[in-house]
C-alpha cells in the first residue's frame, strides 16, 4: 500500500511572483485569487510535486485535473520529464479527471453532450496513460437538483452506464483502471456509497472493470452538523466489495461552514486518530493499493507555511499507517 497526496493548493504560494506575493502578504490578493493566478503552473510542475512528496515521506502523487489544468497541452517532452521525475523520486502517479463544465455531462440527458464529454475525457485518459499513471478517478457527473428524481434519474443513470462502458473499455486498453468517485450532496446524485453500489453492480455485469474510489468525506456532505455523522463512519468502507478497491482518497469535511478537506493531522472534523487507524486496517483487508490524502488550506499563514504543514501531516499519517498495520507490516512502500 502506497501513501500519497493530491496537492490541491498546498504548493501555490511558492509559485507567486514577488509582486503577487507582496500583495498576498498585505491581504490584497485573496486565497482564491492566488489559486486562479498560479494553479496551472503548479499542476504542470509534476517534478516539483514528486520532489515534495518524496521529501515528506510519501510515495504517490495524484495529478489534479480539476479545471483549469495544463494536461491536454503537455508536449512529449513535458511527459518525458514528468515520467523521469516520478522514476527519480520513486513516486507512482494517478490522475483525477476533470469533473466540472464539459465533464459534468457524462450522465446528461442530451446524448450529444454525453458523447462530447466522453471524447473529452478520453483525451485525458490518453495523457494519463502516457504519463504512466497507475489509475484514474472520475466523478459521475452532475444534474440539476430538480431533475435528480424519478424517471429523469433513471435516464441519467443509463447515460452514466454508457459513459462508464466507453471510458472503462478505453482505460482497460491502456492497462490503467478507471475509478468512479462518489459525488458531493450538492451534485444532485450518487453521493453515498449505497447510491453508488448499484451502478457498479450494473456496469460489472457488462464485463467492464470499474473501481470505486469511495470518498467518505463526500458522504459527510449530506449531514448538517458534525454531531449528526455516525460515531464510526469508517465502517461504511466495509459496505464496498473488495474487488472494487484499488485506489482510495481520504479527507474530512466539516458541515458547519462547509469546510472541505481540513489538514488531517489537525483533527478538526469528524475523523479522529482512532477512526483513521481503523480505516487503514480496513484498507489492508480490502486490498487497497494506493491511499491519497486530500487536504487544502484557506488561511494565509497556512499557505505561507504549507511545506511545513504538509510535512507534519505526512508524518502524522505515516504514524497512523504504522500503528494500523504494525502486526508484521512495514511502512508504506
End-to-end Cα spacing for the chain: 6
Whether residue 331 lies inside any domain: the answer is no
Burial class (CB in 10 A: 0-12, 13-18, 19+), 238: exposed
Q: Cβ atoms within 10 A of the Cβ of 154, count?
A: 10
Position 328 scores a pLDDT of 45
pLDDT digits (tens, 9 = 90+) for 58-113: 999 999 999 999 999 999 999 999 999 999 999 999 999 999 999 999 999 999 99
The verdict on pTM exceeding 0.85 is yes
Residue 327: is its pLDDT beyond 70? no
For the chain, percent of residues with pLDDT exceeding 90: 95
Q: Cβ atoms within 10 A of the Cβ of 258, count?
A: 11
Identify which of 92, 140, 64 has the alpha carbon closest to the alpha carbon of residue 289: 92
Whether residue 42 lies inside any domain: the answer is yes
Answer yes or no: are the C-beta atoms of 276 and 320 closer than 8 Å: yes
The per-residue DSSP string of 235-278 comes to GGGGGS-GGG-SEEEE--EETTTTEE---GGG--SS--HHHHHH
Strands (E), the chain: 2-6, 60-64, 92-96, 136-138, 178-181, 210-213, 247-250, 253-254, 259-260, 290-294
Position 330 scores a pLDDT of 42
pLDDT digits (tens, 9 = 90+) for 13-46: 999 999 999 999 999 999 999 999 999 999 999 9
Q: Which residues contact 313 (CB under 8 A, 6 or more apart)?
A: 263, 264, 265, 293, 295
Whether residue 190 lies inside any domain: the answer is yes
Domain span at residue 111? 2-324
Average pLDDT for the chain: 96
Identify which of 32, 26, 23, 28 has the alpha carbon closest to the alpha carbon of residue 12: 32
Whether residue 330 lies inside any domain: the answer is no
In the chain, the number of structural domains is: 1
Whether residue 108 lies inside any domain: the answer is yes
Whichever domain contains 207, its CATH number is 3.20.20.150
Task: Please tell me whether residue 291 adopts helix, strand or coil conformation.
Answer: strand
Answer yes or no: are the C-beta atoms of 66 and 98 closer than 8 Å: yes
What are 313's three cell numbers? 501531516
pLDDT digits (tens, 9 = 90+) for 166-223: 999 999 999 999 999 999 999 989 999 999 999 999 999 999 999 999 999 999 999 9
Whether residue 329 lies inside any domain: the answer is no
Whether residue 143 lies inside any domain: the answer is yes
Cis, peptide link before residue 68, omega less than 30° from 0 = yes
Position 262 scores a pLDDT of 95
Whether residue 270 lies inside any domain: the answer is yes
Amino acid at each position: 500500500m502506497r501513501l500519497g497526496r493530491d496537492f490541491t493548493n498546498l504548493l501555490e504560494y511558492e509559485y507567486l511572483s514577488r509582486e503577487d506575493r507582496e500583495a498576498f502578504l498585505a491581504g490584497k490578493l485573496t486565497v482564491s485569487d492566488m489559486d486562479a493566478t498560479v494553479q496551472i503552473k503548479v499542476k504542470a510542475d509534476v517534478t516539483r510535486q514528486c520532489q515534495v512528496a518524496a521529501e515528506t515521506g510519501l510515495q504517490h502523487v495524484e495529478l489534479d485535473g480539476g479545471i483549469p489544468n495544463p494536461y491536454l497541452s503537455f508536449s512529449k517532452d513535458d511527459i518525458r520529464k514528468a515520467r523521469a521525475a516520478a522514476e527519480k523520486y520513486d513516486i507512482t502517479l494517478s490522475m483525477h479527471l476533470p469533473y466540472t463544465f464539459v465533464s459534468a455531462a457524462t450522465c446528461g440527458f442530451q446524448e450529444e453532450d454525453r458523447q462530447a464529454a466522453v471524447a473529452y475525457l478520453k483525451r485525458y485518459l490518453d495523457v494519463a496513460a502516457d504519463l504512466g499513471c497507475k489509475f484514474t478517478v472520475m466523478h459521475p457527473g452532475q444534474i440539476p437538483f430538480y431533475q435528480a428524481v424519478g424517471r429523469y434519474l433513471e435516464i441519467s443513470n443509463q447515460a452514466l452506464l454508457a459513459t462508464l462502458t466507453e471510458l472503462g473499455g478505453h482505460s482497460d486498453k491502456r492497462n490503467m483502471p478507471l475509478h468512479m468517485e462518489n459525488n458531493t450532496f450538492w451534485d444532485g446524485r450518487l453521493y453515498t456509497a449505497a447510491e453508488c453500489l448499484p451502478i457498479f453492480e450494473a456496469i460489472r455485469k457488462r464485463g467492464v472493470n470499474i473501481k470505486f474510489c469511495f470518498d467518505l468525506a463526500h458522504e459527510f456532505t449530506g449531514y448538517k452538523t458534525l454531531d449528526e455523522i455516525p460515531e464510526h463512519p469508517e465502517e461504511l468502507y466495509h459496505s464496498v466489495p473488495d474487488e472494487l478497491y484499488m485506489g482510495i482518497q481520504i479527507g474530512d469535511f466539516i458541515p458547519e461552514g462547509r469546510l472541505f478537506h481540513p489538514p488531517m493531522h489537525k483533527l478538526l472534523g469528524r475523523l479522529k486518530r482512532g477512526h483513521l487507524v481503523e480505516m487503514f486496517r480496513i484498507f489492508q483487508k480490502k486490498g487497497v493499493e494506493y491511499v491519497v490524502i486530500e487536504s487544502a488550506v484557506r488561511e494565509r499563514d497556512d499557505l505561507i507555511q504549507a511545506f511545513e504543514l504538509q510535512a507534519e501531516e505526512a508524518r502524522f499519517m505515516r504514524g497512523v499507517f504504522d500503528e494500523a498495520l504494525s502486526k508484521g507490516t512495514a511502512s508504506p512502500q
